[in-house]
Structure 1
């Protein structure tokens, strides 16, 4: 999967996205009246509670139409998954099933208990 670089990297930087600060950064493009967006946000918050290396950045698609166009976002929620180096490691459009979302996160971010075990 191609990385986020050049123009895409500049667009994300303008949105305040800093993937170098986390194991995995999930950028969620949402709209105010999007029910699946609210459900996805809640699930990501649950995952963040046990995975300190996960950062969730929500972007209001209607307020950032330039970024929506530049990144090819055509529905909400759209999720971009970025590793610590800013590489795009996944992308989804529409509400991901909880198991799918957890699998993507688990592939890149250890749970707090396993992280503690590595630090010992």
Structure 2
């Protein structure tokens, strides 16, 4: 292999490593909602309420968009159901993304699992894409619902 080929290979590997690191750091991270909570003219809470989400029923409502063949979705769902069992102020709502494509488009859900976090007043606190880290998810739930009962 020539020196140019080795240089191109090294550059491609370095670029791939940087891209993988960047994606890993963003995976499952909570992105806080912008002031006004509107993204491109879409009010996310209005779309979620059309799906039957009732944020007034709990201190924190977590809405998860997932698909049937998503492994991280199943893990996230089990973790949220466990948290819901131990935190009375938490409501968990599962939405099948494949059955609600209009909502997926309106909310710009690009991957699963995607989670939306709403407070009791229906304000969007934030969203995350990808499986959230267990400690981050527990900390967020504890911050809004109080520690485990």
Q: Matched residue of 2:131: which SS?
A: coil
TM-score (norm 2): 0.71
CA distance in 2 between partners of 1:50 and 1:8 (Å): 27
Aligned to 1:60: 96
Alignment RMSD: 1.5
User: How many pairs align?
Assistant: 113
| Separation in structure 2 between the aligned mates of residue 14 and residue 87 of structure 1, nearest angstrom | 15
* More off after superposition, 89-98 vs 3-12: 3-12
1:71 is matched with which residue? 107
The answer as to whether partners of 1:4 and 1:86 remain within 8 angstroms in 2 is no
| Secondary structure class of the residue paired with 1:25 | strand
Q: Quote the Cα distance in structure 2 between the aligned partners of 1:90 and 1:14.
A: 18
TM-score normalised to the size of structure 1? Answer: 0.87
In structure 1, runs of 5+ residues without a counterpart are 114-120
| Match in the other structure for 1:118 | none
TM-superposed CA distance for 1:88, in Å, is 1.2
Unaligned runs of 5+ in 2: 1-32
Deviation at 1:46, TM superposition (A): 1.1
Which residue does 2:143 correspond to in 1?
Answer: 107
Give 1:4 shift. 4.8
Please identify the structure whose Cα radius of gyration is greater: 2
